Structure 1
Amino acid sequence: MKTSGPRLEKVTPSNFEAATGIRVRPGQEFAVSPVMQSLAEAHVHPAGVAWPRLIVDGDRPVGFLMAFLDIDWNGRGDGGPIRSGLWRLNIAAAEQGRGYGRFAVESVAAELRRRGTAEMYVTWHEGENGPADFYLGLGFRKSGETSEGETVGVLALD
């Protein structure tokens, strides 16, 4: 039985090829790493840090997201800020503009709320074809920080 509307699925051996086949539009590659790199990063981080999910509508893979959960934001282990948020978002080129990106952000926000998190973070590359307008349109605000040359956005989850 097919469900109506998009849903998230864990990435498994049975949908791995579908997940790694997700490609963004030409000209957007600078803004997000390929799914294969995201899955490799999820594998090398401690258990529970990465939350990768395939976005499926009906039986059609339409995108991929990966959240980060309770990370040491500064990476120094000095008791600095612990944050959670959206690490990667890849919506297939042919599926963009259909609400799947919004669904992905809302799904991560719901998971973070469920875990008791008050704020959701995301980073993005500025520039033409970048996702700044998308994130700002969903209510993220620029925090005034950068991380590895990317703008940091934050969304209150209350």
Structure 2
Amino acid sequence: MSSDLRLEPVTPANLDAALALRVRPEQERLVSPVVKSLAEAYVHGDTAWPRLIFDGERTVGFVMAFFDITFHPDKAGDRPRSGLWRLLVDADRQGGGYGRFAVEQVCAEVRRRGGTRVTVTYVPGPDGPAEFYARLGFRPTGETSGDDAVAELELELEPELA
């Protein structure tokens, strides 16, 4: 992993690189392919925030956040949510800190938009990413979204705001 990590929007110039990203075969049931994520981003417009993860000039992964999805203030416990919708690090680049970097960038964007909590859903089970998210501070809420588990991370205030 280089010091030139960054997130960039998906554009016509990098679309093929985005679509070529693949997880390991045993992970395919855990995350949707980039093409599905981009279709969902198109349908959900401003709610979705799809980005490619770059290390220098190499595309190493994909992350998609969501911001303030519709909620019902009259429904007990319902509140706006922002967070991590998808995370995919290319099979030959996993374990290099790219996933952590992407989650940190999503957290920074949620904070920049005024959010104080980041939500993630994931496939539970022994091969799922629960431990990865737990190491980053996410805690299960006990909720589910379809068959996925839900976890949240409370964001700390920026040091200059504390």
TM surpasses 0.5: yes
Deviation at residue 89 of structure 1 after TM alignment? 0.2
Cα distance in structure 2, aligned partners of 1:77 and 1:20: 38
Specify every segment of 5 or more residues in structure 1 that has no aligned partner in the other structure, as ranges.
none
Q: Could you say what secondary structure the match of 1:127 adopts? A: coil
Specify every segment of 5 or more residues in structure 2 that has no aligned partner in the other structure, as ranges.
157-162
Identity of aligned residues (%): 58
Q: State the Cα deviation string for residues 76-133 of structure 1 (Å, max 9, x = none).
A: 7866321000000000000000000000000000000111101000011112321111
- Aligned positions, number: 153
1:75-154 map, 5 Å: 80-154=78-152
Cα distance in structure 2, aligned partners of 1:55 and 1:90: 9
Q: Indicate how the Cα distance of structure 1 residues 115 and 128 shifts in structure 2: closer, same or farther if over 3 A, else same.
A: same
Question: 1:19 — aligned with what?
Answer: 18
Runs of at least 4 residues off by over 3 Å: 76-80
Q: Could you say what secondary structure the match of 2:128 adopts? A: coil
Q: Could you say what secondary structure the match of 1:32 adopts? A: coil
The one-letter code sitting in structure 2 at the alignment partner of 1:103 is F
Question: 2:28 — aligned with what?
Answer: 29
Residue 41 (str. 1) matches residue 40 (str. 2) = yes
Q: Could you say what secondary structure the match of 2:69 adopts? A: strand
Cα distance in structure 2, aligned partners of 1:41 and 1:69: 14
Contact 2:73–2:79, Cα closer than 8 Å, also in 1: no
Question: 2:3 — aligned with what?
Answer: 4
Q: TM-score, normalised by structure 2?
A: 0.90
Cα distance in structure 2, aligned partners of 1:58 and 1:103: 14
Cα distance in structure 1, aligned partners of 2:73 and 2:140: 25
Cα distance in structure 1, aligned partners of 2:11 and 2:43: 17
Larger strand fraction of residues = 1
Question: 2:153 — aligned with what?
Answer: 155
